[in-house]
Chain A
Amino acid sequence: MHLDAFELHQPATVEEALAIASAHPGRFDFLAGGTDLLPNYKMHLNLRPQLISLDRVQELRAFRPEQGWIGSMVRLRELESSPTLRERHTALAQAASEVATPLVRASGTVGGNLLVETRCFFFNQSQPWREALGFCLKADGDRCHVVPQKERCYATFSGDLAPALMVLGARVEVAGSSGRRRLPVAELYDPKGDGIRRTLLAPGEVLVGVEVPKGDGRERSNYAKLRVRPSFDFPELGVAAALTMKDGRVERLEIALGGLEARPRLMRKETEPLVGERLTEERVRTLSEEVRRSVRPVHNTYLAPDYRRKMTGVFVRRALLALRPST
């Protein structure tokens, strides 16, 4: 398999990268570790003639876990092996350590993981495969093979880091031609999107890095991933949870899910009522049940959607029971 020809740019600063991007509107992709983009390119998925490699942009490589700063070009391998992250932001280190395989994590980056292309049986296939069936909405076509209609794509968001960063209250820094801004990771993903565009980033915006609130060390978090094999496989479900207790009651509780729907979701509506409450086993059970009921996976991954839904309940319950202070 080969890659089709493209022009490769290697800017040294964010500003240079932005300038190259704005010179080629709609005709470029940023390239980080390439572990998502290049397989997709080999399958001729949404090729662009210009690739802007972020490899030389030193700023994006900054990794200061003590200060809660992670540059977008930091490799997943660095995250998983950071003692600081493992201790303070367990969910993030765990999520990073469960992405793909060690060989992929050596190249794969934080930015690439947050912006990873959504996945579907009918999309992650070679050009001849897709051509034989008829192209779909998400690449070159005008219909969906999962939910037959012509408006929306249901491809599954399959990044592992996003749910973890969401429950940790992380914010991303984004640089665009009009300057820089920070927004919560949870707001990176468009709740009203058509499922084809992955995020609310404007075209040509660069993800600079992620800021994880340092906190006071009381927060406990974890990430659990459902997949058939303990390596290689994308999440069929990813559950991140973070819990801070005060005087035996919930001070802050967040749950976020990935691997289920077109975007990762923070389950605020379900968790909010628990703030100020005791986290009894009974409450954990009810909450898991509510979360389970609110998710809508479709059949475009290996495991059956009803099962993934059911496991959402199981995983949420297990996550919370593990986080609950043992009394």
Chain B
Amino acid sequence: MSKKVPVTLRVNGEEHELHLPPQRVLLDVIREDLNLTGTKRGCDLGTCGCCAVLVDGQPVLSCLALAKLSEGHEVTTIEGISAPGALHPVQKAFIDLGATQCGFCTPGFIVTAVAFLRDHPSATREEIARALSGNLCRCTGYVKILDAVASAARSMAPSGEA
């Protein structure tokens, strides 16, 4: 069909040599070519945050990013947030505090929150809400999501600061 171009992607520390039509967005490549289905497709138009992944540590919308333009950058998906068998404190808090219900928005929230807490370890609840204001959740009403991120922040704070 359409012309393909070589694309080298680094995703979760692994390098992938791919041949892709240049119009493929990162979301499609991650889900369909790399079989990393943890990243979700909620709207395809930048309006829900389900597809968030980290590019060089910053959360971006993979439904609005051309895969080709992610070359030379480090992509991290929900699958790469924690080592196998381990959980990131944000993930742990999501479980314990009931911050996931249907779970479809959850990967997007988690990657966004992980990046945010890394840069703002002592964020307030308002700041967390603002940082997550590009992610929609229809199940939880966000209350427990904010609880979980705030609690993860406390658990990650060097002792004495919490």
Please report the C-alpha to C-alpha distance between residue A137 and residue B161 in the assembled complex, in whole angstroms.
60
Residues B60 and A103 in contact, CB atoms below 8 Å apart: yes
Residues B61 and A8 in contact, CB atoms below 8 Å apart: no
Please report the C-alpha to C-alpha distance between residue A232 and residue B45 in the assembled complex, in whole angstroms.
12
Task: Name the distance in Å between B47's Cβ and chain A's nearest Cβ.
Answer: 6
Give residues of chain B (25-66) contacting chain A, Cβ–Cβ below 8 Å: 25, 28, 44-47, 49, 52, 58-61, 64-66
Write the chain B residue with the least CB distance to A37. B64
Residues B3 and A101 in contact, CB atoms below 8 Å apart: no
Most buried by A among B25, B49, B64, B132: B64
Task: Name the distance in Å between A27's Cβ and chain B's nearest Cβ.
Answer: 15
**Residues of chain B lying within 8 A (CB to CB) of residue A10:** 68-69
Give residues of chain A (1-54) contacting chain B, Cβ–Cβ below 8 Å: 1-8, 10, 31, 34-35, 38-39, 42, 51, 53
Residues A38 and B112 in contact, CB atoms below 8 Å apart: no
Count of chain B residues with a beta carbon within 8 Å of a chain A beta carbon: 32
Residues B69 and A2 in contact, CB atoms below 8 Å apart: no
B130 at the interface (CB under 8 A from A): yes
Residues B58 and A34 in contact, CB atoms below 8 Å apart: no
A325 at the interface (CB under 8 A from B): no
Please report the C-alpha to C-alpha distance between residue A232 and residue B48 in the assembled complex, in whole angstroms.
9
**Residues of chain B lying within 8 A (CB to CB) of residue A230:** 133
A231 at the interface (CB under 8 A from B): yes
Complex partner residue of A7 from B3, B45, B49, B61, CB under 8 angstroms: B3
Complex partner residue of A106 from B21, B59, B66, B132, CB under 8 angstroms: B59
Residues B49 and A103 in contact, CB atoms below 8 Å apart: yes
Give residues of chain A (203-250) contacting chain B, Cβ–Cβ below 8 Å: 230-232
Residues A39 and B28 in contact, CB atoms below 8 Å apart: no
**Residues of chain B lying within 8 A (CB to CB) of residue A3:** 23-25
Residues B64 and A101 in contact, CB atoms below 8 Å apart: no
Residues A39 and B3 in contact, CB atoms below 8 Å apart: no
Known interface pairs A42-B44, A102-B130. Does A8 touch B64 (Cβ–Cβ under 8 Å)? no
Known interface pairs A3-B23, A35-B64, A39-B46. Does A8 touch B112 (Cβ–Cβ under 8 Å)? no
Task: Name the distance in Å between B125's Cβ and chain A's nearest Cβ.
Answer: 15
Interface of A is mostly: loop
A144 at the interface (CB under 8 A from B): no
Residues B134 and A231 in contact, CB atoms below 8 Å apart: yes
**Residues of chain A lying within 8 A (CB to CB) of residue B159:** none
Residues B65 and A101 in contact, CB atoms below 8 Å apart: no
A171 at the interface (CB under 8 A from B): no
Q: How many A-B residue pairs have CB under 8 A?
A: 86
Interface residues on A, range: 20 to 34
Task: Name the distance in Å between A284's Cβ and chain B's nearest Cβ.
Answer: 30
Known interface pairs A8-B66, A42-B44, A231-B134. Does A103 touch B52 (Cβ–Cβ under 8 Å)? yes
Task: Name the distance in Å between A231's Cβ and chain B's nearest Cβ.
Answer: 4
Known interface pairs A2-B23, A42-B45. Does A106 touch B58 (Cβ–Cβ under 8 Å)? yes
A107 at the interface (CB under 8 A from B): yes
**Residues of chain B lying within 8 A (CB to CB) of residue A232:** 47, 133-134
B156 at the interface (CB under 8 A from A): no
Write the chain B residue with the least CB distance to A229. B133
Residues A8 and B49 in contact, CB atoms below 8 Å apart: no
Most buried by A among B45, B46, B130: B46
**Residues of chain B lying within 8 A (CB to CB) of residue A42:** 44-45
Give residues of chain B (63-100) contacting chain A, Cβ–Cβ below 8 Å: 64-66, 68-69
Residues B25 and A8 in contact, CB atoms below 8 Å apart: no
**Residues of chain B lying within 8 A (CB to CB) of residue A101:** 49, 133-135
Please report the C-alpha to C-alpha distance between residue A5 and residue B131 in the assembled complex, in whole angstroms.
34
Task: Name the distance in Å between B94's Cβ and chain A's nearest Cβ.
Answer: 18
With A38-B66, A100-B134, A104-B46 known, 15 other A-B pairs at CB within 8 A are A1-B45, A3-B24, A5-B2, A8-B66, A10-B68, A42-B44, A42-B45, A102-B112, A102-B134, A103-B46, A103-B59, A103-B112, A104-B134, A107-B61, A232-B134
Question: Could you give 19 example pairs across A and B, Cβ below 8 Å?
Answer: A3-B23, A3-B25, A6-B23, A8-B68, A10-B68, A34-B66, A34-B69, A35-B64, A38-B46, A38-B64, A55-B69, A77-B58, A100-B46, A102-B59, A103-B49, A103-B60, A103-B135, A106-B59, A107-B61
